[in-house]
Amino acid sequence: PSARFASTAGPGTEGPQRRVVVVRITSPFAWLRTRFYYLLIRLYFDQEFSIEEFTRGAKQAFSVVSKLLSQRKLDLLEELVSPEVLQVLKEKISLLPDSHRDALAADIDAIMYTTEGDVRIYYDDDGRKFVSILMCFWYLNGANLPDEVPGEAKVFQIVFGDENTKEKKHLLTANYEFQREFTEGAKPDWTITRIEHPRLLE
């Protein structure tokens, strides 16, 4: 397996800077499988499809949607998120404490690592063609969360600066699934059909 990582320097620090490194071990079989699906997408659905370009767009969409969720501006998500997911979000967001809601927001510059997860190509009963790509994001957020957030895994904490200027950040994860219909005549838009913020939005 190969290791992939991204890093950033702590904000507002002088002298030696602390760095955050996110490391993920990628299965070579999973990597080959996703590349095979990207080849199929280019051959049979969209000759100009680029996972690099898609990833850039997915990061921007994730940042925008996560901030709107944090601000409870769900009415602005109707063009971006599927109606089924939006209905579930409305119920969950109303029950979240302020600290958890603040932790949903991800500035695009605070996204430390982005990787694609599962890729699916499928047809529905009416013969319509769809592609869905699950994107996984790791991002820094300074919300006032407790040291231990309920759940199976611990939320990592990173401290920037010295004792007088230290700033605590949480390294959080989110999974967003993007779906597009490739049936002839369908709108060329990607819609978010799954949103997960583990230990925050459950």
Q: Could you tell me whether strands 129-141 and 111-123 are parallel, antiparallel, or unpaired per DSSP bridges?
A: antiparallel
The 10s digit of each residue's pLDDT in 49-72 is 999 999 999 999 999 999 999 999
**Concatenated DSSP letters for 50-102?**
-HHHHHHHHHHHHHHHHHHHHTT-GGGGTTTB-HHHHHHHHHHHTT--HHHHH
Tokens 């819609």, residue? Answer: 191
**Predicted pLDDT of residue 5:** 38
Distance CA(85)–CA(142), nearest Å, equals 26
Radius of gyration of the chain (CA): 18
124 CB-near residues (< 8 Å, 6+ apart) = 130
What percentage of residues in the chain have a pLDDT greater than 70? 77
DSSP 3-state assignment of 108? helix
The 10s digit of each residue's pLDDT in 68-117 is 999 999 999 999 999 999 999 999 998 999 999 999 999 999 999 999 88
The 10s digit of each residue's pLDDT in 126-170 is 999 999 999 999 999 988 887 655 443 344 555 555 555 566 788
pLDDT band of residue 19 (cuts 50, 70, 90) is low
Q: How many CB atoms lie within 10 A of CB 122?
A: 10
2 CB-near residues (< 8 Å, 6+ apart) = 25, 26, 28, 31
Domains of the chain: 28-196 (3.10.450)
Signed CA dihedral, 165, 161, 138, 198: sign only: negative
